[in-house]
Structure 1
């Protein structure tokens, strides 16, 4: 008899989830069809042909920057390792990232509009008058597939539990649907779908952040006592037993460096190019930064989940860090709230996934295929319809690759898919940091200084991570933030030295 309420509850959640997904799919397809009608070439696909409200674009920015990592994956790591993780992912990284966003956006947008750049690679090539450097960054953008994998895994974790599906089937459904509709509307539909997703994420963020109120009824000390009773390391500012939050260098210094550089990703910085007027930038940043900080605070829900599952098990089944929040949602809340939260968690992933598919496919089409193809083929691609068709084929190939990597991370992750994703994404923006910074603030920088700095970052990051350099890299689970920090600082030193040593040249009036 004890099983019936659980079965009935599961049926209710499954039915309601399918219904919600149906409504969501129809809403998305409506915007995609409208966007498709206004998308006639790659410029429309990448930047849009519609004048968007700065508030809409700001919400889209917040949704893109805070993805499934913030709502699903990182809370699981914080639930596993405690307060040290919250300091790292909930405070140090967000403050640095928002500061960097405000600082870099205006300069990037000013130059991006001036040279009509559709992608980050084009921005690099046009800024430094070097097509080979643009091609290098286009190929480097392929590292962002690791981020797509993280999001696919996060969404799959939620849907497979909510729908009672085998994760492989849930993963296939996610990839077919999202990659399918992103073949058509592009930026014209994405801003509107991102806005729906961001609004739902705001609601869910408030629900998740406040869901632990019962643990604070007797005060903050009682909340900490509950965590301490599970594991004393959960309430310490440092967790020496974790592979990610062992000392202040890891949880504060590295996260500040990474947070400053994390903005140098194409689906983040290029979002400002959707604004048609410079007067819209301040409102865009205010909305984006405010909502974004709220989203970052969601990671505290990982601590609530750990109190609910002190031994990281549900029954006799262990809960992996990546599955902790989805398990918490489907067991903790009544059906009507579970459905709202499930939608918000899915939205958190979909919003960034859309931005990554759009920016990465645009880069592969415009900056790789259009540049390395034979001249006769390139002339055909200059036709708007031909370019859009090639972009659709690129998205199909991205879908296949993403499925294969995501499935591997579902069945055999190295602790968490976050490690896999961070290693790729952190390497990308470590290389982008100095070119973006010099491009906006040092107009006379020698191109060779920037190229050498970017290449140095790539070598330092992967050399340190895979070479096992320093004690931090001697463990089974390595922290990519440390390799990224070394790469950013190392390339910055090299770039600055070369800036003063190599002859200056005036490229553009900034």
Structure 2
């Protein structure tokens, strides 16, 4: 066995041991379902900020999205890196304070529970609990992305890799819940920062001193902000509008916005947001790998494998390269796990709090129910990932963007408007957004899920505003 092989297994073993140790610490601090779901409000806002940035970045940013940049060029980079970052910052500046305030008042552990306390209707919160199960599509993306990485570093088949990843992540989340998620994400987030800067600097020479000219040399469309040759990123709305709107709405996902509930008080919000934005902005530099792979002349027929193939091309063949490759692959696996564990914690807490408990009228042993739910979610995710669809990124976006579209009106209006809101109007707007997104994307000829979701979001917001004006007019006549 070569020194590179020995290093590979030693580093992997050290990472696994460290994650389990952090999870064991988390398990000691997790006494009930509340601690499992949002912790005991004793974590640093900086730690929570790194946790959130790592959760947002994940396999999509580090493994899948560089493939979109490889195929579609600068327009894809602007869509994910610039418009998306602006959406993230705007969402947290607008929503964090109000969401935390209302969450504190209601002691909400999950977004459906927050919806229940805001709108006082169990049926509406159940609807939200069930549509939040669309997050499973992102679980599938992460499982597939991580399994592709594992096949690049270990002599293992992809299906075997799926099982190994599933068992590892689920076991440490089952132990410690939110604390395991936060502690391990801080470790993973620091590793992700190191690798992002390493890969950004390592491949920058491919631009040969002129970034735009290098991209235009591939094709004029490839180096254009609006790529006329792309079916996904071809005009202002598909690049900027859709990227900003859908990312703003994505911050309403349960494993993201509920991070606000980890905070001790409103005084921590500024530190939390600043940490998230700074770390998250650095993470977007990983998208450059898509450019580097294209400029290196690599012919990669399967878009989802761009990162794996680029890394193997750049770092294979030398002892130092093999050592670097091992660290990078382990870190990219950590990037996926940092989001997967957050989704699992939020989904399991949500199923117990917002589906099992209300329907069974019991609150017995919620922590045990939460852990059993994790196992069920994992098995469903494994079945869907076993034979994944082509372009797993678009598959995940269809589901998660549908959830984002349905969430925006109830969450945004619920936070910004303190007075009681008409439930029928808010609920119907949520239905319109969900169905509108799926119709446009599946049957309406809109290939980019961000565009279909954004159209649906805009339509639901206009519908809500007009409805409120009409209701106000009729109420004034009474």
How does the TM-score come out when normalised to structure 1? 0.88
What displacement does 1:13 show? 5.3
The equivalent residue for 1:141 is 132
> How far apart, in 2, do the equivalents of 1:50 and 1:481 lie?
34
Q: Which stretch shows the higher mean deviation, 303-312 or 433-442?
A: 303-312
State the partner residue of 1:396.
375
Does the CA-based 8 Å contact 1:13-1:338 persist in structure 2? no
1:122 aligns with 2:113: yes
Query: What is residue 186 of structure 2 aligned with on the other side?
Result: 195
Do 2:173 and 2:345's aligned partners in 1 also have CA atoms closer than 8 Å? Answer: yes
Deviation at 1:102, TM superposition (A): 1.9
Q: Which runs of 5+ in 1 are unaligned?
A: 1-7, 313-317, 505-510
Quick one: which of 445, 457, 470 aligns to 1:488?
Answer: 457
Contact 2:72 2:227 in 1 (8 A): yes
Aligned to 1:465: 441
Distance 2:297 2:353 in 1: 48
- Unaligned residue ranges in structure 2 (runs of 5+): 316-320, 474-478
Name the CA distance, whole Å, in 2 between partners of 1:275 and 1:167. Answer: 39
With 260-269 and 418-427 compared, the bigger mean Cα shift is at 260-269
Give the equivalent residue in structure 1 for 2:60: 69
Q: Distance in 1 between matches of 2:12 and 2:298?
A: 32
In the TM superposition, residue 336 of structure 1 has moved relative to its aligned partner by: 2.4
Task: From the superposition, tell whether residues 184 and 178 of structure 1 become closer, same or farther in structure 2 (CA, over 3 Å).
Answer: same
Q: Which residue number in structure 1 is paired with residue 318 of structure 2?
A: none
Q: CA deviation at 1:98?
A: 1.5
Deviation at 1:36, TM superposition (A): 1.3
The answer to whether the aligner puts 1:174 opposite 2:165 as a matched pair is: yes
The residue that corresponds to 1:307 in the other structure is: 295
RMSD: 1.8
3-state SS of the aligned residue for 1:261?
A: helix
1:440-489, Cα deviation, whole Å (9 max, x unpaired): 1112222222111111111111122222x2xx43xxxx211121011101
CA distance in 2, matches of 1:16, 1:233: 43
Candidates 268, 278, 284, aligned match of 1:290: 278
Q: Quick one: which of 325, 341, 349 aligns to 2:307?
A: 325
Paired residue for 1:274, among 251, 262, 268?
262
Q: Answer yes or no: is 1:345 the counterpart of 2:332.
A: yes
Q: Which residue, out of 375, 384, 390, partners 1:405?
A: 384
Tell me how far 1:94 sits from its aligned partner: 1.2
Mapping for residues 410-425 of structure 1, pairs under 5 Å: 413-414=389-390, 416-425=391-400
Q: Residue 366 of structure 1: which of 306, 328, 353 is its match?
A: 353
Equivalent runs, 1:19-58 vs 2, <5 Å: 19-49=10-40, 51-58=42-49
Structure 1 residue 236, shift from structure 2 partner: 2.6
Tell me: CA distance 1:171–1:155, structure 2 relative to 1, closer, same or farther (3 Å): same
> What per-residue deviation string (whole Å, max 9, x for no partner) do you get for residues 303-361 of structure 1?
0011224432xxxxx4x111111121233131222122112211211111111000011
Counterpart-to-counterpart distance in 1, 2:471 and 2:130? 27
- In structure 2, the partner of 1:164 is 155
- Alpha-carbon distance in structure 2 between the residues aligned to 1:390 and 1:84: 45
